Structure 1
Amino acid sequence: MKTWYVMLAIAAGAVLPIQVGVNSTLRHGIGSPIVAALISFGVGTVCLLAYALAARAEWPTAQMLAKLPMWAWIGGVVGAFYVATAILVAPKLGAANLVCLTIAAQLFMSLLLDHYGLIGFAQHGINVARIVGALLLIAGTVMIVKY
């Protein structure tokens, strides 16, 4: 693995609980988890647009968009579900519990996606080492959530 990508993945993971805390504060300030998620996505959209314009990103053609599979369009829906759910759940569970549960769910879904090579991922079969690693993560999750 390239060090840069590993560091970037770690940084992305590290900012998720920060995002949850910031969005939760936004929710408490305005009173609505859905409106807080909408504001969060609006700010993110403006930032991504500014970056795309500054980087002179190439925009897709209509033909490129038409060739995409239908499931390629649900990324925003999934992101909105996660952000809205995190805003709603974080105050009840706390940052550590929320992150543990979401990471455990991400790992198991990732194992399935890799095993079957779904939605554009290369196929990487489930093996004993991956199962043991997943079980250790579950054990850690149970310890953090329960205690």
Structure 2
Amino acid sequence: MKVAWLLMVFLCGALLPLQGGFNAKLAKSMDSPIYAAMICFIVGAIAMALYVPFTKETFSWQLFKGSTITAVLGGGLIGAVFITISMLALPRLGMALTFGLVVAGQVIISVLLDHFNILVAEPSPVNIWRGLGILLIIAGVVIVEKF
């Protein structure tokens, strides 16, 4: 079962550059990254609205009980920033550097969130191996950019 999850997460990561490419093309054709980002979120919302009836999930306003405003709005706001900035960066930096930096940022922040037990189930302290992993990812981004 864990292998299936590993594969699905890897494939989701592989989709991000495709999403970035589609979004950058949309932003260019519309001559507006802001409206292109809005279209992305509208299409995503429609896709989820069509998917939900096929699940066993039921909606109730009680689902929000115990949630903070940060938890309710955080993901959507961060998603909007990510989509918009990646649309603007992609034509300027290229696919490899843009998403190399995205991955580096994700890993570095994830290690810090794990270490300080922020938004995670179990803390995982920074150690030499995690530090080395971060350095290797940064080195990979530098190598991809240089060559």
TM-score normalised to structure 1 length:
0.94
Q: Deviations over 1:7-29 (max 9, x none)?
A: 01111000000000001111111
Which stretches in structure 2 are left out of the alignment for 5+ residues?
none
Partner of 1:83: 83
Deviates more, 1:101-110 or 1:119-128: 119-128
- Figure out how many residues of one structure are paired with residues of the other and give that number: 146
In the TM superposition, what is the alpha-carbon distance from 1:116 to its structure 2 partner? 1.1
Q: 2:97·2:145 contact (CA, 8 Å) conserved in 1?
A: yes
Within 5 Å, give how 1:20-31 maps onto structure 2: 20-31=20-31
Question: Mean alpha-carbon deviation: is it higher for 63-72 or for 2-11?
Answer: 63-72
What one-letter code is carried by the residue in structure 1 that aligns with 2:89? V
Paired residue secondary structure (1:9): helix
- The answer to whether the Cα contact below 8 Å between 1:113 and 1:121 also exists between their aligned partners in 2 is no
Alignment pair present for 1:93 and 2:66:
no
Distance in 2 between the 1:35 and 1:18 partners?
19
Q: Which aligned pairs between 1:4-23 and structure 2 lie closer than 5 A?
A: 4-23=4-23
Within 5 Å, give how 1:1-147 maps onto structure 2: 2-59=2-59, 61-73=60-72, 74-147=74-147
- Asked if 1 retains the 8 angstrom alpha-carbon contact of 2:27 and 2:33, the reply is yes
| Runs of 4+ with deviation above 4 angstroms | none
8 Å Cα contact 2:115/2:124 also seen in 1? yes
Fraction of identical pairs, as percent: 34
Contact residue 116 and residue 123 of structure 2 kept, 8 A: yes
What is the identity, as a one-letter code, of the residue corresponding to 2:82?
Answer: Y
Given that 2:114 and 2:124 are in contact with CA atoms closer than 8 Å, whether structure 1 keeps it comes out as yes
* TM-score normalised to structure 2 length: 0.94
Deviations 1:69-103 (CA, angstroms, capped at 9, x unpaired): 23212100001100011001100000000011111
Unpaired segments of 5 or more residues in structure 1?
A: none
Which AA in structure 2 matches 1:99? F
